[in-house]
A and B are shown apart, each in its own frame.
Chain A
Amino acid sequence: MVALPLNLGITEEPTFTGLKKKKKKQVHTDLLDIESHNAEEDINDPIGEDEKPWEGTDRDYKYEELLSRVFNTLRESNPELAGEKRKTILKIPEVLREGTKKTVFVNLVDICKMMHRQPEHVMTFLLAELGTSGSLDGQQRLVVKGRFAPKSFEGILRRYMNEYVICNSCKGGDTRIEKDKENRLIFLKCDKCGSERSVAPIKAGFVARVGRRKAET
């Protein structure tokens, strides 16, 4: 006997699955809407300003209008001086597998030289971010415990550069790390524009105990 669907208003199964899917979609679209809405607003604003909002009235220029005027004329006449170049010398990190449980980062020292950084500093950052242990072997290669893709190394290196190498004001890559002797603070000093900013020391964070319990006594 086939059970006829009684229309008592208690249609459970179809609405149950429907609700679940709708819920997820709603959440996603809400976030997406908010993001796209914000992006639209951002896009619309500069376009509005291009039409010279000050033309009609007699008022003084606003600071943001002056800024955008300066940068637009600068970009048109002297694109190099606008100084928005990043460090485009990023070498591709080469990683090899050593056995099944280790990954070898071959280019570490070369990349450190391009960034004008100490390999130890970069190594501490890498190990803290990956959450594993590792060491520099005889050939100056970094051997890390675990299996990692080259893309993950690239991501971590990019984060390192954004935080510890690139100057915030001129986006240049000629920076040095200086330790302030009196306060034990670490500063990042830029050679191109001379600005200094403080950076946090690399802390290892919580490392959960993975592995065998019997190995430790």
Chain B
Amino acid sequence: MSELDPQIPSAFDPFAEANAEDSGAGSKEYVHIRIQQRNGRKSLTTVQGLKKDYSYNKILKDLKKEFCCNGTVVQDSELGQVIQLQGDQRKNVSSFLIQAGIVKKDHIKIHGF
């Protein structure tokens, strides 16, 4: 019985701090918001790089309701799941993601004209 005492893991987890820091600053997974042109004045907004744990369908549904636009989730072979929205929704999407707490402001990169 006395043997088990030193083997009981202590409550202090030395890797906890490292893990928390890593997910915060080390991995640098950016969320890219891009825009593409379609015919006329129409455009497409693309959101790429969100964490895979999130339910993309729910996020998409909220985005569609919030901005009154259509959208879809596209499966890309290399880049994973990408959210596509109709119209120029870059600013709307970025403020939505920040307010919902899904992404932090530093992790968002907005591209495009």
Q: Which of B2-10, B14-22, B60-68, B76-84 is the interface stretch?
A: B76-84
User: Once the chains bind, are B113 and A208 in contact (CB under 8 Å)?
Assistant: no
Q: Hey, which chain A residues are within 8 Å of B84, CB to CB?
A: 208
The B interface is mostly helix, strand or loop, or mixed, namely: strand
Could you name 9 residue pairs across A and B whose Cβ atoms are closer than 8 Å?
A130-B113, A132-B36, A148-B113, A149-B113, A152-B113, A206-B32, A206-B34, A206-B79, A208-B36
Within the complex, the shortest CB–CB distance from B38 to chain A, in Å, comes to: 5
Could you count the A-B residue pairs with CB atoms below 8 Å apart for me: how many are there?
48
Q: Name A's B-contacting residues (CB within 8 A).
A: 128-132, 146-149, 152-153, 155-156, 205-208, 210
- Given contacts A146-B37, A205-B34, A210-B44, is CB(A131)–CB(B111) below 8 Å? yes
A208 and B46 contact, Cβ closer than 8 Å, known pairs A130-B112, A130-B113, A131-B111: yes
Given contacts A206-B74, A208-B36, 16 further A-B contacts (CB under 8 A): A130-B112, A130-B113, A131-B36, A131-B37, A131-B112, A132-B37, A146-B37, A147-B37, A156-B113, A205-B34, A205-B46, A206-B34, A208-B74, A208-B82, A210-B36, A210-B38
Chain A CB within 8 A of B35 CB: yes
